[in-house]
Amino acid sequence: MTDQPLHMGIDYGAKLAGTTAVAIAVEQQLQVRQSEQGQDADLFILNIVNQLKPKFIFIDAPLTLPAVYAQHPATPDADFFYRAADREVQAMSPMFIGGLTARAIKLRTQLAIQGVGMLETYPRQLVRLLLPELPGYKNNAAALPAFTEALQHLLPYSIKEPPQNWHQLDSLLAWYSGYRHLQAQAQLYGNATEGRIIV
């Protein structure tokens, strides 16, 4: 295993919902932290970044808009809802989750000033690629231990404490997509001009 820059995986949730989870490798162990209900998720992330100084963040949130919004004039047959990457991985429209998209883009801009690169990932697609035989992803709490065990077999480090919910598992999946990318093993969806999803 080659030395890699420190990176984080984030499952990004509504600002005050307590559903944002962060995974990062500390002393050869993968640790997960989750925001609390009522806590500002963006400040939660910024505090962890300032503390642990990752070079890259892989986040489950749209970081760009469909290309039509950069075109002048726009054409009526353009796709105003989805990017190519969204269609390829069957992700939600960045426009449908507009507030979350705006927060993520702002966070990426803030972190870029600090020299931290933020890249987009999609944990559900990683599950489709690597764990297609496992049923119950995100719709059956009883399936969480099986997904944790299967993911642990893929990870280069041990998970310090088993994830307590799907948000925490998704942060580990986001981390692993980042690991795959830094090892030049990831799959890329979409295009560079409109925005890529890295899995």
| CATH label of the domain that carries residue 179 | 3.30.420.10
Asked whether residue 27 is domain-assigned, the answer is yes
- Whether 2 has a pLDDT exceeding 60, the answer reads no
In this structure, how many other beta carbons lie within 10 angstroms of the beta carbon of residue 22?
Answer: 28
Q: Which residues contact 27 (CB under 8 A, 6 or more apart)?
A: none
Rounded distance, CA 198 to CA 136, Å? 23
pLDDT digits (tens, 9 = 90+) for 99-121: 999 999 999 999 999 999 999 99
Asked whether residue 1 is domain-assigned, the answer is no
Radius of gyration for the chain, computed over Cα atoms and rounded to the nearest angstrom: 16
Mean pLDDT within 127-147: 97
CA dist list (Å): 120 to 66, 181, 192:
14, 11, 12
Domain tally for the chain?
1
Counting every residue written for the chain, the total comes to 199
pLDDT digits (tens, 9 = 90+) for 139-180: 999 999 999 999 999 999 999 999 999 999 999 999 999 999
Predicted pLDDT of residue 4: 77
Residues of the chain with pLDDT > 70, as a percent, come to: 98
Expressed as residue numbers, the domain containing 117 is 7-198
Asked whether residue 63 is domain-assigned, the answer is yes
Predicted pLDDT of residue 1: 45
pTM: 0.97
Asked whether residue 80 is domain-assigned, the answer is yes
Asked whether residue 36 is domain-assigned, the answer is yes
pLDDT digits (tens, 9 = 90+) for 4-35: 789 999 999 999 999 999 999 999 999 999 99
- Whether 41 has a pLDDT exceeding 50, the answer reads yes
Asked whether residue 101 is domain-assigned, the answer is yes
Asked whether residue 2 is domain-assigned, the answer is no
Asked whether residue 32 is domain-assigned, the answer is yes
Structure confidence at residue 45 as a pLDDT band (50, 70, 90): very high
Decide if 21 contacts 164 (C-beta within 8 A): no
Based on the number of CB atoms within 10 Å of its own CB, is 197 exposed (0-12), middle (13-18) or buried (19 or more)? buried
- Torsion 175-180-184-188 (CA) sign: negative
